[in-house]
Amino acid sequence: MKRVFLLVVTNLAVMLLLGVIVNIVFAFLGVSTTGRQGDLIALLVFAAVFGFGGAFISLLLSKPMAKLMTRARVITGREGVQEAWLVQTVETLARTANVKMPEVAIYEGAPNAFATGASRNSSLVAVSTGLMRGLSQAEVRAVLGHEMAHVANGDMITMTLLQGVLNTFVILLSRIIGTIVDKAVFKNRRGLGIGYFVTYMAVQTILGILASMIAMAYSRHREYRADAGAADYLGSPGDMIAALRRLGGMAPGPLPEAMKSFGINNRRGYAKFFSSHPPIEERIARLQNSTRTTSGYTM
């Protein structure tokens, strides 16, 4: 969850800054969003560069920002018995998932955990002190398996690519609609007028909300896959179901916005469409109804 909070917030901030830059550059170059084919191509290139740029900047900053915002301390296993068990467990899961050993960290807070990082082989898995105190070792192992499944599935890069595509369309469409309104409604014939700037800001906000709903829908899908991955690594869904049941009765620890999609638990909040996680009971039902195959559990 921490990872999603950070990815979303950082990405929105970068998008806002880059959006201002785009408009300054367009105004300086005299580039319009309608009319000549060259102008449309230029707009598309700018939208793609800045749309994907914001997402990838967020991805590259995700690990250091997660450590900073949660005050997580990276452990090596030499600090004590608990730390040694955590590192050994993650190491075993990393071998099972066939990924490079991630950094392991602990942070102070209510029960939660997250995975983040720029790639499958450059990741961080962190757990809260509340999770360590509130769950049994078998349940903590299942939570770690869930986070390692996020890493093995490449969810970090996939979410970034999806966010980049959504950003590109938000930037592109908001400026095209802004220009149309400026010319057709406000009858502006000289450059970009007030109608353009007011419209594109409003449309970009609306489209940004819709884009967030799409990203969160994919995030919920990823959670089912990560639960199934944990069951596969552990050989059965029992511990993952037990961990989810235990977490369902706890208040999850807060995570930075860009990290929320990569945590283990997240309350549904005001509307399910903006939730990064499905309800706990639905996740448990999926695991209980999963079909056992020779390769593990399929959803």
* Residues classed as catalytic: 147
User: Which residues, including other chains, have CB under 8 Å from residue 23's CB and lie 6 or more apart?
Assistant: 175, 192, 197, 200
CA–CA dist 70, 113 (Å, integer) = 11
Q: Which two tokens stand for residue 91?
A: 């190491």
The dihedral over CA atoms of 4, 8, 11, 13, expressed in degrees to the nearest 10, equals -130
Where do we find the tokens 């990560």? 226
Pair 222, 155: CB distance under 8 Å = yes
Which residues pair with residue 293 across a beta bridge?
296
CB 114 within 8 A of CB 259: yes
Residue 225 to residue 205: CA distance in whole angstroms: 31
The answer to whether 59 and 157 have CB atoms below 8 angstroms apart is yes
- CA torsion angle for 294, 277, 61, 49 (degrees, to 10)? 90
